[in-house]
Amino acid sequence: MTLKVRDVYTRKVIWVTPNSTLPEARKLMDGNDIRRLPVIAGGELVGIITLTDVLRAAPSPATSLSVWEINYLLDKITVAELMTSPVMTVTPETPLHEVARLMLAHKIGGLPVVEDGKVVGMITESDIFRVMVGLLGGDTEELNKEAEVEDAEAAASVGAPGA
């Protein structure tokens, strides 16, 4: 049996638009305990922004700017200025070993899952680790419960693209 993306990916999509500000993206990431957000415009995937992208845009702790000046400047930065585009994607039918190979080869921690031109979820290194724990004989019941709680909390806080 070959495991596929559909067997393990996170189905709740939390996303931003290209016009979202850097603080808005950071708030979504922090509030949902995630490190990457698909960027969607007009229902289409146009980019991806990661926590690393957001952190790189932040000023140095040694800055002489006041907190108000920093916040003013950060509010002017949009996701479009920092996102990666084009985005590598997978489908629900992509074999899991191929996803792992892509992530290793390109040194990335997650990929949007796209079906019929729409983002239907994300697959991350955490999803792959969860599978590995199960395959190696570990107890995944507690991990699955945590993932279900996280998915439920995300569903309660953010709508799907186009909502």
CATH number at residue 55: 3.10.580.10
Q: Classify residue 37: in a domain, yes or no.
A: yes
- Predicted local distance difference test score (pLDDT) of residue 154: 47
Q: Classify residue 12: in a domain, yes or no.
A: yes
Question: At 102, is the pLDDT very low, low, confident or very high (cuts 50, 70, 90)?
Answer: very high
- Predicted local distance difference test score (pLDDT) of residue 149: 52
Share of the chain above pLDDT 90, in %: 63
pLDDT higher than threshold 80 for residue 23: yes
Please state whether the peptide bond connecting residue 59 to the residue before it is cis, i.e. omega within 30 degrees of 0: no
Total domains present in the chain: 1
pLDDT digits over 117-150, tens only? 999 999 999 999 998 888 888 665 655 555 555 5
133 vs 112: CA distance, rounded Å: 22
Q: Classify residue 139: in a domain, yes or no.
A: yes
Domain containing 124: what range? 5-157
pTM of the model: 0.79
150 vs 31: CA distance, rounded Å: 11
SS3 22: helix
Q: Classify residue 151: in a domain, yes or no.
A: yes
Q: Classify residue 128: in a domain, yes or no.
A: yes
Q: Classify residue 163: in a domain, yes or no.
A: no
Q: Classify residue 162: in a domain, yes or no.
A: no
| Residue 126: CA count within 13 A, CB half-sphere | 11
Q: Classify residue 153: in a domain, yes or no.
A: yes
Q: Which residue has the tokens 């509010």?
A: 75
